[in-house]
Amino acid sequence: MSVVSNGLPTAQEIVGPTPGQRLRRRLFGHRGIVVGGSILGVIILMALLAPLIAPYDPYDQILTARIKPPVWYPHGTWEHILGTDQVGRDYLSRLIYGSQISLLIGFFAAALSGLIGTAMGIAAGYFGGRVDLVVTFLITCRLSLPVILVSLAVVAVIGGSLEVVILVLGLLLWDRYAVVMRAATLQVRSLDFVAAAQTVGCSTWHILVSEILPNVMNQLIVVATLEFAHAVLLEAALSFLGLGVQPPLPSWGLMIAEGRNYILFDPWLIAIPGVALFTLLLAVNLLGDGARDVTAPENRG
Amino acid sequence: MLVYTAKRIVLAILVALTISMLVFSLLYLSGDPATALAGESATSADIEKIRHAYGFDRPVWVQYLSWLANAAQGEFGNSLYFRLPVWDLILERLPTTMTLGVSAMSFAIVLAIPLGVLAAMFPNSLIDRAALFMAVVGQAMPSFWFALMLIVLFAFTWPVLPASGSDTWRHFVLPTIVLGYYATPAFMRLTRTGMLDVLSSDYIRTARAKGLRPWTVLFKHALRNAIIPVVSLAAVQFGFMLGGSVIIETVFALHGAGFLAWESISRSDFPTVQAILLLFSLLYIVLTFVADLLNAWLDPRIRVG
Amino acid sequence: MDSIRNRRGGWMGLALLAAVSAASATTLAATSAFAGKADDTLNIAWEREQPTLDYYFQNSREGIIINRHIWDCLLWLDPKSGEFKGLLAKSYKIVDDKTFEFEIREGVKFHDGSTLTADDVVGTIEFLTKPDTGKTQNQPAAWIDHAEKTGPNTVRIFAKETTPLALLYLSADIPIYPMAYYDKVGPEGMGVKPIGTGPYKVTSVEPGKRIVFEKNADYFKDSPKGQPKIGKIVQRTIPDVNTQIVELASGNLDWIFKVPADQAEKLETLPNLVVKPASTMRIGYLTFDAAGRSGENPFQKLEVRQAVAHAIDRQAIADNIVRGGSIVVNSACYPEQFGCTQDVTKYDYDPKKAKELLAKAGYPDGFKTDIYAYRNREYLEPMIGYLSAIGIRTDLHFGKYAATRDAIRSSKVPFAFMTWGSGSVPDVDAITTVFFGGGPDDTSQDADVQKWLAEGASTMNEATRKAAYAKALGKIADMAYWVPLFTYPTNYAMSKSLNWTPTADEIPRFFTASWQ
């Protein structure tokens, strides 16, 4: 912020920081967001640059180089910094490529369920009446189904793969979106600018997309981060039970499942992908919590 | 209160019926159930025999109604794998799952509520940050990974607890910790938020101004009000736990209903899968119904909604 | 108020922490190591939930083990001399190529106190030859035409045709049931409360979870099986091999089997345990729906099957992953079985050739296929990797044994990784005929092969049998109906206080075991 040389304050200083600047300050001042965001940023970068930074092909199996320990163990070498897995694939490379899978699943599953849930929630909140009744009923039904068991049953029948997992999770995880969006829409729809738009004669679609949606976006983002984490966790669990992503895909959950037999004597095989998963989920949760804190009541309007 | 209860009952029944339809249709996901059942080297004559014996040749809605009617009496047919009545198999294994669920819930509550209260009493202090951190960690750790780690630590490196089975209370310690830890963050946050809200309310300020001792303030007034949302969360979480017990039961070889469900899914033992899915869903519906009633009784404002 | 917070905050936190620690501290009580010997109880565990204890209505290795402990057969194969001795039969006589006569031992009691008679033998055989009983074990008695009681203690069994394996089956897979009891309770009753004449009786069953066996103190003294020494055997089902190992290491279990090679090596280093390797008759193989029963699929083409055979480095897998002395097999049988010859077309590891063959068959860019399997994912995954490298992308359906076998039989499966232990029968008829003889498991349906296999089973003449089997195995290899993979050595891990030796047939006999 510059000060005019004659000592008088600038217009900027009189008015105070713009909403954009205020938001930025809040964002970067919040430790959770900074930490979470940086970690997530690193992981995304890792996923995007995977072909460049991974030392080996993650699918290259060298059966004579099985279960080599990471470099900090007595027999570890710098050739395989994080060691190799049970068929001789370099663990560091698999870890790096695995980030792609986790991010893909988290993003698309959260997006799909977000689409479904948001549409239902906003519709219920805006139109009320019978629409609300139906949506609430559907939400209650969905909540009564044990998600893991249903996913297992469905995948067992139609076969597991990346696409199937995303589809199944996307079609099951919309409940929180619907609940939160409904509540948020209820709060927003009674505000002046919505009434104004209605009076002017805007189409319902216009109102929903241009007036309501932007104002519930904050809460949508919070839920999205939570469901992202939820989807990643569930995929890991499904892969652990053998009904998720298929080998030889380097999904972190599948790596834990494959390394499960070696946990007693070669624990790094499941410790490393476990830490990776944990880090990703931690980052996403911190971001979500931060988003919730930052977009607390004072930021409405 | 009566009107509220009636409305809730109707809703519960409708949901239960919808779920039962969904669960029933699972059988048809894989195509013709008669062929799936006939299995080995079945000729078309064999398949027709099976189709007739199991009643798959009736119209679908008739099959559904008869399944439903039988289910209401606890008659789910025989398991395709064990050739024993499904209901008996489930009843045998349900106590293990219930024990696990109840102890995990208790663990979560016993751990979460004091932490939540403390965090609310000393906001932004070390305790508050530690509690919040613990909450985030709990939500970020895959339960199966946590389970395996605990087994390695406490059953292998320091063999103080058994790694499998469900014979004594000690067999339930590790599974309880893993399953319960996952639910702790939600409870803790809820308690903390609730306490924070209540502690800063006028009601409490008045009580303090009147000179009541801080402990009285805390327990008699604040906590009572903050508990209300925890009750309904407990019901919801218990329902989730039933579904999530699959992983824990598999890793710890606890022969409960969740494990049976998973095994039956991989064995295509449809009658068993349907029965367990229906049972878990119904349990959840009943629990939330009871929780709703409890909430409405504790906080009259809810009944109007 | 602030002063109160500051003062009490720290103490409160400490108090809470102490309370939680105290609660967890009460769980620290050491388990007693190796309670097994101390209370004469052998604690064993295996992976699979046993669906029923009625031998004829299930089809698992564990069922075979249970069979040998609860029941006896008419004959018994002496592992040292290779001769058949009388078990429930005092003596036996081969009347002619299709007739066998047995003198039933007197004074043998079933676990419920009733006496074994010739009627039980005849009754058991009658039950086995009855069609439509829904039983799963069809092969062992399929050769029997009928049985007759020819005297107060003698029974004659008549074969439909000349059956070279008749005595083998009678010594292993046809346990004698108490027919009065069986008629009364049926398979459901026998499945949870089995009664037999064997060295151990079952005192409690939690279906799929736990079986408790107790020594049969009245086991007949003349039995060549020997007398049981260990008082009680408790079997638990533990689906995860790690958990089994942890329990073994901490003394809650005394014996486990099927320990993967990697873990077996590490277990050796633990002080209280000993690991005993043994060979088994099990081989792993890849099977194709060559006959096209599951619909049109790439594996109907010979070149595709041969491509798969060339794509996988079986030696590398055997040496590095299976280990324990595993060897590559090239024909559809276990090398030591009678009639098995390895002198057949061999497919060496040549991924380039594999790609060429695929292109020749019309799949230059490979294809996607389902693959089914039920065990040893750690052997399958490198194979999937090899296939991926030549362009065959797989969608893995990993399920339970029964479901996988049923899927294959009902023609749903184009490609599968299976294993077969031949029921530990040392004859090609127990494996090759099962999968190529025209039965429900025959996925290639080759008339020539079926003819030669039938030839091999129709005579007692060894030379004729060998020649016929050689022809069949030759064509199977030429047509690559299977990709035979490698043998399955196995590892047993147990407490040092247990005195027990494994046999090469993968059937642990705990009635020969004792404490050190």
Alpha carbon distance C10, C12 (integer Å): 5
Strand-pairing partners, residue B304, are none
pLDDT of residue C123 exceeding 90, the answer is yes
Q: Does C209 touch chain B (CB under 8 A)?
A: yes
Alpha carbon distance A235, A243 (integer Å): 9
CB contact residues (below 8 A), chain C span 410-429, against chain B: 410
Q: Report pLDDT for B199.
A: 74
pLDDT of residue A174 exceeding 90, the answer is yes
Q: How confident is the model at residue C24 (pLDDT cuts 50, 70, 90)?
A: very low
CB spacing of B164 vs C238 below 8 angstroms: yes
C279 burial level (CB within 10 Å; 0-12, 13-18, 19+): buried
Strand-pairing partners, residue C393, are C368
Question: In sequence order, which residues have a C-beta less than 8 Å from that of residue B87 and are 6 or more positions away?
Answer: B74, B75, B76, B275
Q: Report pLDDT for B288.
A: 83
> Strand C154-159 to strand C99-104: parallel, antiparallel, or no bridges (unpaired)?
antiparallel
Residue A10, domain member (yes or no):
no
The structure tokens 């009625």 sit at C54
For C385, the token pair is 């990797």
Q: Report pLDDT for C99.
A: 92
Strand-pairing partners, residue C232, are C41, C214
A141 closest CB neighbour out of B19, B136, B236: B19
State whether ipTM is beyond 0.85.
Answer: no
Stretch C249-275: mean pLDDT = 88
Chain C's closest residue to A67, CA to CA, is: C262
Whether the CA torsion B277, B281, B286, B288 is positive or negative: it is positive
CB spacing of C378 vs A67 below 8 angstroms: no
Touching A (3+ Cβ pairs <8 A), the chains are B, C
pTM reported for the whole predicted model: 0.77
CB spacing of B127 vs C9 below 8 angstroms: yes
Domain range for A110? 26-300
Among A61-70, B260-269, C131-140, C173-182, name the most confident range. Answer: C173-182
Percent of chain C topping pLDDT 70: 93
pLDDT of residue A301 exceeding 70, the answer is no
Indicate the SS3 state at residue C154: strand
How big is the CA angle at C435 (ends C449 and C128), to the nearest 5 degrees? 115
Question: In sequence order, which residues have a C-beta less than 8 Å from that of residue C15 and are 6 or more positions away?
Answer: none
Stretch C280-289: mean pLDDT = 92
The structure tokens 């292993």 sit at C172
Residue A20, domain member (yes or no):
no
C240 closest CB neighbour out of B81, B114, B253: B253
Q: Which residues on A lie below 8 Å from B235 (Cβ)?
A: none
CB spacing of A281 vs B22 below 8 angstroms: no
pLDDT of residue A242 exceeding 90, the answer is no
Residue A6, domain member (yes or no):
no
For A98, the token pair is 């695995």
**Number of neighbouring beta carbons within 10 Å of residue B258:** 30
Query: Between B8 and C347, where is the model more confident?
Result: C347
Alpha carbon distance B22, B17 (integer Å): 9
CB spacing of C406 vs B92 below 8 angstroms: no
Q: Could you give the angle at which helices B86-121 and C2-25 cross, rounded to 10 degrees?
A: 150
The answer to whether B189 touches B117, Cβ cutoff 8 Å, is: no
Q: Which residues on A lie below 8 Å from C381 (Cβ)?
A: 86-87, 247-248, 258
Percent of chain C topping pLDDT 90: 54
Q: Does C246 touch chain A (CB under 8 A)?
A: yes
Interface test with B, best of A136, A149, A168, A272 (most B CBs within 10 A): A149
Strand-pairing partners, residue C394, are C369
Interval C184-205: pLDDT, tens: 999 889 999 999 999 999 999 9
Strand-pairing partners, residue C276, are C492
The answer to whether B119 touches B188, Cβ cutoff 8 Å, is: yes
Interface test with C, best of B149, B267, B272 (most C CBs within 10 A): B267
Q: Report pLDDT for B301.
A: 64
C395 closest CB neighbour out of A86, A246, A262: A246
Indicate the SS3 state at residue C145: strand
Which residue numbers in chain B have pLDDT < 50?
40-41, 305
Q: For chain A, what is the mean pLDDT?
A: 84
Residue A70, domain member (yes or no):
yes
CB spacing of B159 vs C31 below 8 angstroms: yes
Residue A15, domain member (yes or no):
no
Whether the CA torsion A274, A275, A281, A285 is positive or negative: it is positive
Closest CA relative to residue C86, chosen from C68, C97, C102, C99:
C102
Closest CA relative to residue A223, chosen from A274, A174, A259:
A174
- DSSP secondary structure of C407-431: HHHTT--SEEEEEE-GGG--BGGGT
For C109, the token pair is 């009691």
Stretch C2-9: mean pLDDT = 37
Question: In sequence order, which residues have a C-beta less than 8 Å from that of residue A260 and are 6 or more positions away?
Answer: A240, A270, B148, C240, C242
pLDDT of residue C496 exceeding 70, the answer is yes
C-alpha separations of C269 from B25, C231, C318 in Å: 52, 29, 23
Domain count of chain A?
1
CA-based nearest distance C62→chain B, Å: 15
CB contact residues (below 8 A), chain C span 50-69, against chain B: 51-52, 57
Q: For C402-432, give one letter per residue: b (16+ CB within 10 A) or e.
A: bbbbbbbbbbbbbbbbbbbbbbbbbbbbbbb
Q: Report pLDDT for A258.
A: 84
Stretch C160-167: mean pLDDT = 87
Residue A107 main-chain phi, psi, to 5 deg: -65, -50
Q: Report pLDDT for A118.
A: 92
Q: Does A154 touch chain B (CB under 8 A)?
A: yes
For C172, the token pair is 């292993």
The answer to whether B160 touches C27, Cβ cutoff 8 Å, is: yes
Alpha carbon distance C351, C308 (integer Å): 9
Indicate the SS3 state at residue C115: strand
Strand-pairing partners, residue C85, are C76
Closest CA relative to residue A133, chosen from C448, C54, B10:
B10
The structure tokens 């109102």 sit at A207
Q: Does residue A88 come out as left (phi exceeding 0), alpha (psi in the -120 to 50 range) or beta?
A: left
* CATH number, domain with residue A215: 1.10.3720.10
Q: What DSSP designation does C482 have?
A: E
CA-based nearest distance B21→chain C, Å: 26
Touching C (3+ Cβ pairs <8 A), the chains are A, B
Q: Which residues on B lie below 8 Å from C31 (Cβ)?
A: 159-160, 162
Residue A51, domain member (yes or no):
yes
The answer to whether C486 touches C317, Cβ cutoff 8 Å, is: yes
The structure tokens 């194709």 sit at C288
Q: Which residues on B lie below 8 Å from C410 (Cβ)?
A: 35-36, 38-42
**How many interface pairs between B and C have CB atoms less than 8 angstroms apart?**
126
- DSSP secondary structure of C48-88: SPP--S-GGG---HHHHHHHHHH---SEEE-TTT--EEESS
Alpha carbon distance A40, A32 (integer Å): 12
Q: How confident is the model at residue A12 (pLDDT cuts 50, 70, 90)?
A: low
Alpha carbon distance B190, B234 (integer Å): 11
The structure tokens 């070696």 sit at A262
Q: Which residues on B lie below 8 Å from C27 (Cβ)?
A: 160-161, 170, 173
Q: In what helix (H) or strand (E) does residue A285 lie, and over which residues does it extend?
A: helix A268-294
**How many interface pairs between A and B have CB atoms less than 8 angstroms apart?**
120
> Strand C210-215 to strand C200-206: parallel, antiparallel, or no bridges (unpaired)?
antiparallel
Q: Report pLDDT for C201.
A: 94
Among A23-37, A40-54, B2-16, name the most confident range. Answer: A40-54
Q: In what helix (H) or strand (E) does residue B148 lie, and over which residues does it extend?
A: helix B143-151
Indicate the SS3 state at residue B263: helix
Question: In sequence order, which residues have a C-beta less than 8 Å from that of residue C454 and are 6 or more positions away?
Answer: C437
Residue A132, domain member (yes or no):
yes
CB contact residues (below 8 A), chain C span 218-247, against chain B: 236-240, 242-244, 246-247
Q: Report pLDDT for C22.
A: 37
Stretch C52-78: mean pLDDT = 90
Q: Does C328 touch chain A (CB under 8 A)?
A: no
CB spacing of C400 vs B263 below 8 angstroms: yes
Q: Report pLDDT for C448.
A: 93
Q: Does C403 touch chain B (CB under 8 A)?
A: yes
Residue A256, domain member (yes or no):
yes
Q: Which residues on C lie below 8 Å from B162 (Cβ)?
A: 31, 247, 250, 252
A192 burial level (CB within 10 Å; 0-12, 13-18, 19+): exposed
Alpha carbon distance C490, C277 (integer Å): 6
**How many interface pairs between A and C have CB atoms less than 8 angstroms apart?**
70
C-alpha separations of C9 from A118, B123, B125, B236, C17 in Å: 43, 11, 9, 32, 12
CB spacing of A146 vs B243 below 8 angstroms: yes
Q: Which residues on A lie below 8 Å from B266 (Cβ)?
A: 156, 242
For C428, the token pair is 């090609």
